[in-house]
Structure 1
Amino acid sequence: MVDRYFNIEGKIRNGFKLSQDYETLDFNFVKLGDGGVEALCKSRSVKQLRRLTLTGNKLGPLGAKALSDSEKLPNLESLKLYKNKIGDEGVGFLAQSPNFTNLKSLRLAWNDIGPEGIRLLAEAVNMEGLTSLSLAENKFGDEGLKYLANSTAFKNLGYLDLRKTGITDEGLFALAEGDNFPKLEKIDISDNDITAEGKRAIARLLILRLCKSRLKDDGTVLDVSKLGIGDTECEYIASCKDFENLTHLYMELNSITSTGAHFLSESEYLQNLTLLSLDRNKIGDEGAEFIANSPIFSNLEVLMLEFNLLTDRGLLAIAGSEHMSNLKRLYIDDNNYTEEGFEALGTSEFLLQLEYPEFEREEEIEEEEEIEEEFEDVEELEDVEEEEELDDEEEIG
Structure 2
Amino acid sequence: MAEAKDIDDSLEFLRHFEKYTENPDLASLIREKLSLDKKSLDLLGCQLKEDDFKTIAEASPLKSLLLLNLEQTGLNSAGLQPLSASDCFSNLSNLSLANNNLDDEALFFLSKCKALKLLKELNLSSNEIGALGAKVLSLAEDMGNLESLNFSYNRLEPLGIKSLADSRLGRQLSEINLRDTGIGDEGLKFLAQVPPLEKIMKIDLSDNSLTHEGMEVLARSEVFPNLKVLILNNNHLGDDGIYAMAESRMFENLDTLVIHNNGLTTDSAISLSTSKSITRLRTLDLNNNDLRAEGVEALAGSNNMKDMETLDLGENKIGQDGAKALAQSPNCSGLKSLRLNNNNISDQGAMALAQSSTLTRLESLYLENENWIHAQGIKAMAESENLTSLRRLVLALNVIGDEGAIYLANSQQLSGLHFLNVAGNKLSPKGEDALQKSTVLTNLEILEIV
Which AA in structure 1 matches 2:226? R
Taking the TM superposition and a 5 Å limit, the aligned residue runs for 1:306-317 are none
SS of residue matched to 2:44: helix
For residue 72 of structure 2, what is the aligned residue in structure 1? Answer: 56
Task: Judge conservation of contact 1:87–1:117 (CA < 8 Å) in 2.
Answer: yes
Task: Judge conservation of contact 2:171–2:199 (CA < 8 Å) in 1.
Answer: yes
Instruction: Decide which of 203, 206, 210 is 1:187's aligned counterpart.
Output: 203
Q: How much has 1:111 moved relative to structure 2?
A: 1.5
* CA distances 1:159-181 after superposition (whole Å, capped 9, x unpaired): 11111111111111212321263
Q: How many residues align?
A: 229
More helix by share: 1
For residue 117 of structure 1, what is the aligned residue in structure 2? Answer: 133
Q: In structure 2, what is the Cα distance between the partners aligned to 1:41 and 1:49?
A: 12
Q: In structure 1, what is the Cα distance between the partners aligned to 2:274 and 2:59?
A: 63
For residue 29 of structure 2, what is the aligned residue in structure 1? Answer: 11
Which AA in structure 2 matches 1:208? P
* CA distances 1:225-283 after superposition (whole Å, capped 9, x unpaired): xxxxx9967741699xxxxxxxxxxxxxxx9988639xxxxxxxxxxxxxxxxxxx959
Q: In structure 2, what is the Cα distance between the partners aligned to 1:38 and 1:102?
A: 22
Taking the TM superposition and a 5 Å limit, the aligned residue runs for 1:125-164 are 125-164=141-180
Q: In 2 relative to 1, CA 35–174 (structure 1 residues): closer, same or farther, beyond 3 Å?
A: same
Q: In 2 relative to 1, CA 233–158 (structure 1 residues): closer, same or farther, beyond 3 Å?
A: farther
Gaps of 5+ in 2: 1-20, 229-242, 253-270, 278-301, 305-450
Task: Judge conservation of contact 2:84–2:109 (CA < 8 Å) in 1.
Answer: yes
* CA distances 1:137-177 after superposition (whole Å, capped 9, x unpaired): 11121121111122122433111111111111111121232
Which AA in structure 1 matches 2:30? I
Task: Judge conservation of contact 1:127–1:154 (CA < 8 Å) in 2.
Answer: no
Q: In 2 relative to 1, CA 128–197 (structure 1 residues): closer, same or farther, beyond 3 Å?
A: farther
Which AA in structure 1 matches 2:79? G
SS of residue matched to 2:176: strand
Which AA in structure 2 matches 1:62? A
Q: In structure 2, what is the Cα distance between the partners aligned to 1:31 and 1:182?
A: 40
Which AA in structure 1 matches 2:249? Y
- Residue 236, structure 1, aligned to residue 252, structure 2: no
Task: Judge conservation of contact 2:196–2:222 (CA < 8 Å) in 1.
Answer: no
Which AA in structure 1 matches 2:160? G
Question: What is the alpha-carbon root mean square deviation over aligned residues?
Answer: 3.3
Task: Judge conservation of contact 1:128–1:155 (CA < 8 Å) in 2.
Answer: no
Q: In structure 1, what is the Cα distance between the partners aligned to 2:206 and 2:142?
A: 29
Q: In 2 relative to 1, CA 160–205 (structure 1 residues): closer, same or farther, beyond 3 Å?
A: farther
Task: Judge conservation of contact 1:5–1:39 (CA < 8 Å) in 2.
Answer: no
For residue 226 of structure 2, what is the aligned residue in structure 1? Answer: 209
Q: In 2 relative to 1, CA 58–205 (structure 1 residues): closer, same or farther, beyond 3 Å?
A: farther
Q: In structure 2, what is the Cα distance between the partners aligned to 1:130 and 1:74?
A: 13
Identity of aligned residues (%): 31
Q: In structure 2, what is the Cα distance between the partners aligned to 1:184 and 1:202?
A: 15
Q: In structure 2, what is the Cα distance between the partners aligned to 1:69 and 1:144?
A: 25
Q: In 2 relative to 1, CA 201–126 (structure 1 residues): closer, same or farther, beyond 3 Å?
A: farther
Q: How much has 1:127 moved relative to structure 2?
A: 1.5
Q: In structure 2, what is the Cα distance between the partners aligned to 1:13 and 1:168?
A: 44
Which AA in structure 2 matches 1:101? K
Q: In structure 2, what is the Cα distance between the partners aligned to 1:98 and 1:231?
A: 43
Q: In structure 1, what is the Cα distance between the partners aligned to 2:89 and 2:189?
A: 37
- Residue 75, structure 1, aligned to residue 91, structure 2: yes
Q: In 2 relative to 1, CA 89–182 (structure 1 residues): closer, same or farther, beyond 3 Å?
A: same
Q: In structure 2, what is the Cα distance between the partners aligned to 1:117 and 1:53?
A: 21
Q: In structure 2, what is the Cα distance between the partners aligned to 1:237 and 1:136?
A: 24
SS of residue matched to 1:209: coil
Q: In structure 2, what is the Cα distance between the partners aligned to 1:79 and 1:107?
A: 6
Q: How much has 1:209 moved relative to structure 2?
A: 2.7
Q: In structure 1, what is the Cα distance between the partners aligned to 2:54 and 2:196?
A: 34
Task: Judge conservation of contact 1:256–1:282 (CA < 8 Å) in 2.
Answer: no
Q: In structure 2, what is the Cα distance between the partners aligned to 1:116 and 1:52?
A: 25
Instruction: Decide which of 31, 42, 54 is 1:38's aligned counterpart.
Output: 54
For residue 24 of structure 1, what is the aligned residue in structure 2? Answer: 40
- Residue 100, structure 1, aligned to residue 116, structure 2: yes
SS of residue matched to 2:226: helix
Gaps of 5+ in 1: 212-229, 240-254, 262-280, 284-397
* CA distances 1:65-110 after superposition (whole Å, capped 9, x unpaired): 1221111111011111111112100001111211110011111112
Structure ID, larger Rg: 1
SS of residue matched to 1:260: coil
For residue 370 of structure 1, what is the aligned residue in structure 2? Answer: none
Task: Judge conservation of contact 1:54–1:80 (CA < 8 Å) in 2.
Answer: yes
Taking the TM superposition and a 5 Å limit, the aligned residue runs for 1:154-303 are 154-179=170-195, 181-199=197-215, 205=222, 208-210=225-227, 235-236=248-249, 260=276
Q: In structure 2, what is the Cα distance between the partners aligned to 1:180 and 1:231?
A: 19
Q: In 2 relative to 1, CA 180–72 (structure 1 residues): closer, same or farther, beyond 3 Å?
A: farther
Query: Taking structure 1 as the reference length, what is the TM-score of the superposition?
Result: 0.51
Task: Judge conservation of contact 1:113–1:140 (CA < 8 Å) in 2.
Answer: yes
Q: In structure 1, what is the Cα distance between the partners aligned to 2:103 and 2:248?
A: 41
* Structure showing greater relative contact order (alpha-carbon pairs closer than 8 Å, 6 or more residues apart): 1
Query: Taking structure 2 as the reference length, what is the TM-score of the superposition?
Result: 0.46
Q: How much has 1:47 moved relative to structure 2?
A: 0.8
